[in-house]
Amino acid sequence: MKRLLIAYDGSHAADSAINDLIYAGLPDTLDVVVMSVADVYLPPAPRAPEAEVPEFPPVVFQIARERAQAAVEAHRALAARACERVKSLFPKWNCTPLAVADSPGWGVVKQATEWKADLVVVGAQSHTRLERLFLGSVSHKVMAEAPCSVRIARPHRAKDELRIVVAVDGSVDSKAALQEIAARAWRPGTQFRLVVVVDPHLETAMTWPGFLPQNFVQTNDRNGREWIARLAEAAAQIVFAAGLNVSNHIYDGHPKDVILRVSDEWHADAIFLGARGLNHGNRLALGTVASAVASRAPCTVELVRPPRA
């Protein structure tokens, strides 16, 4: 991981997202952009020959432009303040503040795409109840449409050890989540609980052409449970080989319900899972399990997408 994009709006959720980074196992050196998006339209400079300027009276146009510029400058101050907080937590990170005029969710996705971010960090809630109720939160748009991994941060429960649930289903994105965990530097005592949920979707997965669990199926298997157990062991080995404390757990039920229940009962600090699940047909859309878990989880959720080729 080399590039981290932090979406920041000055809210308590955004501050919690920055504080949550100390529990993310991220490297000592990173290029970081703290981005704050002013939800305004900034009219182009009237003298730019390529700009299409609406036919407004000069005074009205100037007032609108000044108002938008003031909003962007206010968000620039927010980003700069947040960047100082990031630097105080991670002195070796190269942190740059950025403010733009755009629709907040789309602005973050656009920046993540153009800058080729490896991970986007957002708070779990948007500014207002109205936004969450009618427009959908910024965090939901980012987690659904960003081209990279997304960390939806929630306030961290203060305790000495970290507990992290990792959802495993044999998909490419699930394996990428395991590899991302193995590559990070976790604080001593961090515990990882791998959760495999058996449902008809997983039990029949071996019949899909080119699907990863075919690697775990043997000719003398009498049922799907046998190869699913091998899948779970192989997943645990990726984490164990990195010197981490990991345990395997196989459950029956619906994946999103089981993952949420286990995370709540175990008092997990974070959930890692692939952004897309089984048989996504190369679609880029966020998986239904990932969407449900990220929206309803009691803790931070990191949705992992495989690195770009």
> Which residue ranges of the chain lie beneath pLDDT 50?
126-136
CA distances from 10 to 16, 38, 87, 123 (A): 10, 11, 17, 10
CA-based diameter of the chain, in Å?
81
**CA 252, 260, 21 angle in degrees (round to 5)?**
135
Q: How far apart are CA 260 and CA 292, in angstroms?
A: 9
Domains and CATH numbers, the chain: 3-153 (3.40.50.620), 163-304 (3.40.50.620)
pLDDT value at position 127?
41
Could you count the other beta carbons within 10 Å of the beta carbon of residue 116? 12
pLDDT value at position 128?
45
pLDDT digits (tens, 9 = 90+) for 52-88: 655 666 777 778 888 889 999 999 999 999 999 999 9
Contacts with 62 (C-beta within 8 Å, 6 or more apart), sequence order: none
pLDDT value at position 50?
55
In 245-306, the DSSP E strands lie at: 245-252, 270-274, 300-304
pLDDT digits (tens, 9 = 90+) for 163-206: 999 999 988 899 999 999 999 999 999 999 999 999 888 877 76
20 closest CA partner among 256, 302, 293, 273: 302
Residue 29: exposure state from Cβ atoms within 10 A (0-12, 13-18, ≥19)? exposed
